């Protein structure tokens, strides 16, 4: 069973464009759960251009499924997540001004830093996932930090999928096998869609969770939020 975590950053982006509280991030998040989502993901950034610190604390008591907070482990970010205590923290290597997460950690040169962060989060009872690419040695290095899971950056898969699905999926299958061999749980996310998700899920073993935001919210503009979440759940159940 692979869980679907819905990233609600784009809801906050739309709200912030106009001011006020429409659409309401809390309402959308609880509706996502009501419609079948297995978790809610947020990625607060230093400039608060979408999810704000206040959103994190507003969502924390409302989310009944898994609450996943993504971000670069700066002092401010760690202070936030240690106060909020989500189910999972996903560590990404983004610069403060990054538009979106577009690469995983190069773990070896950051091993000591990441190990210290993982230890702090574990002391607070928070599960940790490290955002990585498909390099096999890098995944082995991630296991040395003590992290519980890795999240595979699926941007390259999405880019290559239409032209050559078999070639696109091959490095992810190998990465999933190595992650399992070294005792890591497996998440995935970035540019997964109704087109490419079933094939990905069908071929990737040991997949615990996918986190999807931009494409899911875009689909919901045409299909409606409830129908969209059900479609993504169906892609996971039947893929």
State yes or no: pLDDT of 99 exceeds 70: no
Q: Which residues carry out catalysis?
A: 43, 70, 190
Contacts of 22 (CB under 8 A, 6+ apart): 15
Q: What pLDDT is recorded for position 90?
A: 98
Mean pLDDT value across residues 15-27: 96
Task: Kindly tell me if the per-residue pLDDT of 101 is higher than 60.
Answer: no
**The token pair that represents 159 in the structure block:** 């880019």
Length of the chain: 239
Return the pLDDT at 103.
77
- The neighbouring-strand residues paired with 209 are 3, 187
Is the per-residue pLDDT at 116 higher than 60? yes
What tokens does 135 get? 């390099």
Cis amide linkage into residue 186, ω under 30° from 0: no
Least confident of 81-85, 97-101, 114-118, 159-163: 97-101
Residue 234's Cβ-count burial label (10 Å; 0-12, 13-18, 19+) is middle
* Second-level CATH architecture of 3-238: Alpha-Beta Barrel (3.20)
Domain range annotation of the chain: 3-238
- Residue pair 17/49 in contact (Cβ under 8 Å)? The answer is no
Q: What pLDDT does residue 171 have?
A: 98
pLDDT bracket for residue 157 (50, 70, 90):
very high
How many helices (H) and strands (E) in the chain?
11, 8
Q: Is 25 helix (H, G, I), strand (E, B) or coil?
A: helix
pLDDT of residue 26: 98
At 100, is the pLDDT very low, low, confident or very high (cuts 50, 70, 90)?
low
Mean pLDDT of all residues belonging to the chain: 95
**Residue 95 structure tokens:** 């610069």
| Per-residue model confidence as pLDDT tens digits over 56-92 | 999 999 999 999 999 999 999 999 999 999 999 999 9
What is the dihedral sign for C-alpha 70, 73, 127, 2? Answer: positive
């Amino acid at each position: 069973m692979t869980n679907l975590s819905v990233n609600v950053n784009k809801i906050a982006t739309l709200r912030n464009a106009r001011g006020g509280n429409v659409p309401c991030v809390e309402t959308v998040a609880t509706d996502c759960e009501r419609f079948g989502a297995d978790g809610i993901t947020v990625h607060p950034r230093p400039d608060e251009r979408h999810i704000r610190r206040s959103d994190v604390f507003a969502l924390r008591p409302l989310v009944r499924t898994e609450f996943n907070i993504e971000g670069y482990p700066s002092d401010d970010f760690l202070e936030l997540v240690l106060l909020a205590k989500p189910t999972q923290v996903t560590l990404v290597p983004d610069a403060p001004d990054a538009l979106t997460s577009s690469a995983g950690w190069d773990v070896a040169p950051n091993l000591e830093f990441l190990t210290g962060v993982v230890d702090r989060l574990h002391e607070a009872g928070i599960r940790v996932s490290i955002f990585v690419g498909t390099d096999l040695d890098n995944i082995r290095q991630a296991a040395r930090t003590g992290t519980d899971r890795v999240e595979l950056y699926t941007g390259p898969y999405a880019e290559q999928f239409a032209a050559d699905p078999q070639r696109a999926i091959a490095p992810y299958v190998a990465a999933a096998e190595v992650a399992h061999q070294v005792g890591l749980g497996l998440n995935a996310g970035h540019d997964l869609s109704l087109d490419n998700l079933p094939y990905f899920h069908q071929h990737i073993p040991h997949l615990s969770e996918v986190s999807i935001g931009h494409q899911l919210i875009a689909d919901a503009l045409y299909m409606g939020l409830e129908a969209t979440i059900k479609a993504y759940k169906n892609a996971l159940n039947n893929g």
